[in-house]
Structures are given as C-alpha cells and as structure tokens.
Amino acid sequence: MSFHDDLKKYIHEYIKFVYEITKKFPREELYGITSQFKRAVMSIMLNYIEGYARKNKTKSKIYKNFLETAFGSLKESKYLLFFSYDIKYISKKEYEHGLALSDKIGAMLWGVIK
C-alpha cells in the first residue's frame, strides 16, 4: 500500500468510529454535536481526496489549501472528541481510541503539508 492509501484507510476508520459512537449520543444532540462531529470527520476525507485529485506542480497552492482544510477539520473533530468525553457521551476507552487515530492522521497530514 502507498502512503496515500494508508492515510485514506486511517481517515476512513476514524469516520466509521465517529459514526458509530455518535449513535449513542442523546437525541437532542442530533442537530448539534452529532451533526457537527460527522461533518468534521467527513470533511477530512473529502478535502484530502479533492486536494489529492488536484495535485500537480502548477496547482501546489490549491493542493496545500485542501490539505490545510482537512487538517483544520481534524482539529475540530479532536475537540469534539474531547468534549464528548468530557460530558460523558463516550467512554475513556473510546476517547483514547479516537485520539490515537486522530493523532496518527494528524501526523501524516502534517507531514504532507510540510
């Protein structure tokens, strides 16, 4: 597998993780934290893919912009992960698993950005 494939695999795993844990969130959060969390993690993948699709020497600024947007969405999702743990919507084990995934993705994305 290539670096690109590995990164997409980790992002996909993180998206599935968030979709799974948000099933347990209170119904009143459907249009709040649940929706925002799902949008944030999906944005990581969609911006990474779109940026990668536009990757070439003449559009390197566009590519970098998409990667930075993906990285920003990752940071947003990490706060939502912490907040979900802090208000006891998720367990410590779930929080640690999500944090490990997001840290791995963040390190890989940051490496590509730099």
Counting Cα atoms < 13 Å in the Cβ hemisphere of 80 gives: 23
What pLDDT, on a 0 to 100 scale, did the predictor assign at position 25?
96
Per the listing, tokens 């706060």 go with: 79
Domains and CATH numbers, the chain: 3-113 (1.20.1440.60)
Counting Cα atoms < 13 Å in the Cβ hemisphere of 110 gives: 9
What pLDDT, on a 0 to 100 scale, did the predictor assign at position 61?
84
Give pLDDT tens digits for 27-51: 999 999 999 999 999 999 999 999 8
What pLDDT, on a 0 to 100 scale, did the predictor assign at position 35?
96
DSSP secondary structure string for all residues of 20-77: HHGGGS-GGGIIIIIHHHHHHHHHHHHHHHHHHHT-SGGGHHHHHHHHHHHHHHHHHH
What pLDDT, on a 0 to 100 scale, did the predictor assign at position 53?
83
What pLDDT, on a 0 to 100 scale, did the predictor assign at position 4?
87
Give pLDDT tens digits for 65-104: 999 999 999 999 999 999 999 999 999 999 999 999 999 9
- Check the CA dihedral 57-58-61-63 and report its sign: negative
89: three-class secondary structure by DSSP: coil
Res. 57: pLDDT tops 70: no
Query: pTM here?
Result: 0.93
